[in-house]
């Protein structure tokens, strides 16, 4: 009998706990609800305010904006938060306002660790687990910045190539822009590919006052390791021209630097090495606007098909597409971003991880040797933290990259 009476307090406690959890779950889904997220930079929890979309998303899953407030980097956009947040919600975004409360390390290069963790936690359903998220559209937007989606720059048959822009709204002075070409060939700000590659470059550099643009890769899905010329150069230059033309009304200064890893690195280098060639112009929109870039951040990738390791696994695929190299040398040459480089060019920033595959390390070495032979200026920093085929999170390299972009885009 006593055991039965002892059971009632336990049962009551369990029911009470269930009630509290239920109320908490409902509070977490309510508009303006507060929650928290574990930050590396802060060494603890940061406050998050969730704001539901005021217009129903196009699908059951909502695109996401992580809106960063009170960072250590100076705010560049002068527009107040209220109208920006209103318009993001009206466009169907779930907005998570993440408040850094003036943490002194909440800026590049230290902030990039958090930006990588944010995307990883979203992918693992650790953060915002109670919400149906459109993981193909996850944007990190610093305070005072606006998001402009689906800016078309070219047509490729039935496919429209476009870009998403994040830019300081009403900056005190015009800002430069950083452009990257998507690595998954389908979703520009797809969270999965950005998380897998630890790609925090655009997310991070937006917090430093640059405008950033993620553009569709010139090659449609499925990607088979081929970046055919002149097609890729025509489309990538159309993206730069459109970014420059659109930027006039958005407070940009007309200067653009491409950045890239893997298939995106070839696009970044190609924009530099084909500079001034009229045979790569005239495609897409804004054909009277310049496609010139002011530099390039080039990470691991393929830059020439004329100097490959003998056991490169891609050799059979190239031979099938272009014919045998010995008999079709000029065809192979015309597809190489590096082999358009015949004279000194703008300063480049190069980096690669020490544990990349031998093919990628060889390609970076070939690029460095060609630039050295031409006495073309470049900075090279090896990422010595073994992480493989990923964008660097090394603070020293990211800091140097930030300084490089400031120099080229100021």
Domains in the chain, please, with CATH?
Answer: 28-136 (3.40.50.1820), 137-409 (3.40.50.1820)
Q: What was the pLDDT predicted at 186?
A: 83
Q: Is the pLDDT of residue 3 over 90?
A: no
What residues have CB less than 8 Å from 277, skipping those under 6 apart?
233, 340
**pLDDT (average), residues 243-271:** 97
Indicate the pLDDT class of residue 392, thresholds 50, 70 and 90. Answer: very high
**pLDDT (average), residues 1-13:** 38
Query: How far apart (Å, rounded) are the C-alpha atoms in residues 377 and 68?
Result: 36
Tell me the angle at which helices 231-247 and 263-273 cross, rounded to the nearest 10 degrees. 80
Q: What was the pLDDT predicted at 96?
A: 98
**pLDDT (average), residues 352-360:** 97
Report cis status (omega within 30 of 0) of the bond before 230.
yes
Q: What was the pLDDT predicted at 366?
A: 98
Q: Give the containing element (helix H, strand E) for 9.
A: helix 2-29
Q: Which residue has the higher pLDDT, 269 or 185?
A: 269
Q: Is the pLDDT of residue 152 over 90?
A: yes
Q: Burial of 121 by CB count in 10 Å (0-12 exposed, 13-18 middle, 19+ buried)?
A: middle
Q: What was the pLDDT predicted at 17?
A: 36
Mean pLDDT of the chain: 91
Indicate the pLDDT class of residue 266, thresholds 50, 70 and 90. Answer: very high
Indicate the pLDDT class of residue 8, thresholds 50, 70 and 90. Answer: very low
Q: Are strands 44-51 and 94-99 parallel, antiparallel or unpaired?
A: antiparallel
């Amino acid at each position: 009998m006593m055991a039965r009476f002892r059971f009632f307090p336990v049962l009551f406690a369990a029911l009470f706990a269930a009630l509290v959890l239920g109320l908490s779950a409902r509070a977490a889904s309510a508009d303006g609800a507060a929650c928290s997220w574990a930050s590396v930079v802060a060494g603890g929890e940061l406050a998050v305010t969730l704001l539901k979309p005021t217009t129903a998303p196009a699908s059951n899953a909502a695109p996401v904006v992580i809106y960063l407030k009170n960072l250590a980097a100076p705010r560049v956009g002068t527009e107040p938060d209220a109208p920006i947040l209103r318009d993001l919600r009206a466009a169907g975004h779930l907005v998570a306002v993440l408040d850094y409360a003036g943490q002194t390390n909440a800026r590049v290069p230290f902030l990039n660790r958090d930006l990588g963790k944010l995307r990883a936690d979203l992918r693992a359903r650790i953060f915002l687990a109670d919400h149906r998220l459109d993981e193909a559209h996850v944007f990190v937007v610093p305070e005072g910045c606006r998001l402009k989606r689906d800016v078309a720059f070219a047509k490729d048959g039935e496919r429209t190539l476009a870009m998403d822009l994040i830019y300081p709204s009403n900056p005190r002075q015009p800002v430069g822009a950083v452009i990257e070409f998507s690595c998954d060939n389908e979703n520009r700000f797809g969270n999965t590919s950005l998380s897998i590659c630890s790609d925090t470059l655009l997310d991070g550099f937006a917090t430093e006052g640059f405008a950033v643009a993620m553009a569709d890769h010139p090659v449609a899905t499925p990607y088979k390791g081929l970046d055919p010329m002149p097609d890729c150069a025509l489309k990538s230059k159309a993206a730069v021209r459109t970014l420059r033309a659109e930027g006039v009304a958005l407070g940009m200064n007309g200067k653009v630097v491409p950045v890239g890893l893997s298939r995106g690195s070839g696009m970044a280098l190609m924009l530099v090495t084909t500079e001034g060639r009229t045979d790569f112009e005239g495609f897409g929109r804004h054909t009277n606007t310049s496609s010139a870039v002011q530099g390039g951040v080039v990470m691991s990738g393929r830059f020439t098909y004329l100097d490959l390791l003998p056991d490169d696994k891609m050799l059979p695929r190239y031979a099938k597409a272009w014919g045998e190299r010995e008999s079709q040398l000029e065809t192979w040459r015309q597809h190489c971003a590096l082999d358009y480089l015949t004279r000194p060019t703008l300063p480049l920033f190069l980096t690669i991880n020490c544990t990349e595959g031998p093919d990628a390390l060889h390609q970076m070495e070939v690029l460095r040797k060609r630039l050295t032979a031409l006495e073309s200026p470049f900075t090279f920093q090896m990422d010595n933290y073994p992480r493989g085929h990923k964008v660097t999170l090394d603070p020293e390299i990211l800091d140097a990259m930030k300084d490089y972009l400031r120099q080229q885009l100021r």
